[in-house]
Amino acid sequence: MRNNLLPLYLLLGCIPLAVAGQNMFTFIATIILVVRWRKNRERSLSELWSKFKVPLSLSICFPIWIELVTLLNQSNPAPFLRFSPGYFAWILIPPLCWLNYGALTQEDWKKLARVAVGVVTVSGLMALSQNIFGWQLLDLKFVHDLPRARGLYSHPLTFAYVGSFFWPLGCFWVLRNPKHWSGWALLIGVTAWIIFSQSRAIQLVSLMVAIFSIIYITKGSVRKLALVCLVIGSIGILTLPNPVSKRLNQTFNGEMPRNSEKYIDDRFAFWDVHWLMIKERPLLGHGAKLDKPYRLPYYEKMDLAAFPKKYEAHNLWIQITSNGGLIGLFLFGSWWLWYLIQVVRINGSQHRFAKGLMLSTWMAFAMGGILQNSFQDSEVRMTLTLVCAAMMMSGLCGFNGLQHKR
């Protein structure tokens, strides 16, 4: 029987949209998935639990813990249940996808890959046009903005971090089948996406992923040629006038704006302040929605009262520890580590491509999170949710999966 992939098309196709659009399409897809599963019941809840009880338990416990900590912290005015609703898709979509589809067929993956090409191409074209014309969609109106790509999102960094999930796919696809035009279309689109969003962190992570992909996929003279092309391309990007070379030159020449003589980069100020917060409540954390009024006393304690950017941590791992303490970090870290272990344990040469692709995507998310609160961005979390669903539907992750067969 042929799979009806409409819910997956909706989930993947809504990636370029802002939060409201993503929420609408996710809601529709969720309803379809629930109705479809209740009708067919090809896989049971007990099967789901036996294979994925660890990530399911951890993903459920994490937002519950943050809500509980918020209630326990009398200094945190955040209303109850303002945090967890934003994480419902992260919890529900991957298991619902597995319940409906199990392990997708190769033909199913090809269909989804074509949708991914369309999503990335549209996003790449938006990035190019925003770099040229400097437009932004604000309150359903086109307004003039700085020539830095953000797509339909509210911030360029969110746009960059979402694009980073597609970069490993583009690299692996082109290196495995360089004659396939779809792979090149996806790679070119996501390259524009990453370059014109101007995130130095994501550009560095992308370079590391590209090097890993070349070493992992290619051999002999092909590997040497690919590395030479990467070096030449990198030199060209660094030396010719473009957004990447401009920001890197500003960084190394000390021309990037600094708001404190105490720190060489504003991020170190963010980390210092949040480290102070962690030391105050190391086990429990401070709870959800640590907005500017809550952070202000901690900036003042660090003699940063005049610091104009009293931002959150700009680090996924530090921010989670600030919110949920060491217990929250343990819950999220264990969830992330479970997927990593499952990928590392995949055996068989026939699964080598999938293993490398999942490994590079998963590690890129973790490394990129060192310089941004990526998990707290709804659009980034939505894309991460689809990556988790894809890993479940690969048939290679989960207890009693293929990686356990010798």
Cβ neighbours of residue 393 under 8 Å, at least 6 residues apart?
97, 98, 101, 102, 103, 104
- CA pair distance 188, 49, nearest whole angstrom: 40
- CA pair distance 197, 339, nearest whole angstrom: 28
What confidence tens digit (pLDDT) does each residue in 42-97 have? Answer: 899 999 999 999 999 999 999 999 999 999 999 998 888 888 999 999 999 999 99
Please determine, for residue 238, whether its predicted confidence score (pLDDT) is greater than 80.
no
Q: Looking at 43-47, 311-315, 365-369, 396-400, which range is the least confident one?
A: 396-400
Please determine, for residue 279, whether its predicted confidence score (pLDDT) is greater than 70.
yes
**What is the per-residue pLDDT for 401?**
45
Q: Name which of 283, 247, 285 is nearest 265 in CA terms.
A: 247
pLDDT band at 150 (very low <50, low <70, confident <90, very high): very high
The CA angle 172-390-398, to the nearest 5 degrees, is 110
Ramachandran class of 17: left when φ > 0, alpha when ψ lies in -120 to 50, beta otherwise: beta
**Burial class of residue 205 (count of CB atoms within 10 Å of its CB; 0-12, 13-18, 19+):** buried
Please determine, for residue 350, whether its predicted confidence score (pLDDT) is greater than 70.
yes
Q: What is the DSSP letter of 104?
A: P
What confidence tens digit (pLDDT) does each residue in 170-216 have? Answer: 999 999 999 999 999 999 999 999 999 989 899 999 999 999 999 99
What is the domain partition of the chain in residue ranges? 45-102+260-406, 107-258
**What is the per-residue pLDDT for 220?**
93
- State the residue for tokens 């191409």: 121
What confidence tens digit (pLDDT) does each residue in 19-37 have? Answer: 999 999 999 999 999 999 9
DSSP per residue over 108-164, as a string?
Answer: HHHHHHHHHHHHHHHHHHHHHHHHHH-EEEETTEEEE--S---TTSS-HHHHHHHHH
What size, in residues, is the chain?
Answer: 406
- CA pair distance 358, 209, nearest whole angstrom: 12
What confidence tens digit (pLDDT) does each residue in 219-232 have? Answer: 999 999 999 999 99
Q: Looking at 120-124, 146-150, 166-170, which range is the least confident one?
A: 146-150
What confidence tens digit (pLDDT) does each residue in 247-264 have? Answer: 667 666 665 666 666 788
- Position 241: which residue type? P
- CA pair distance 395, 403, nearest whole angstrom: 9
The percent of residues in the chain predicted with pLDDT above 90, rounded, is 75
- CA pair distance 193, 181, nearest whole angstrom: 18
Average pLDDT over residues 340-352: 93
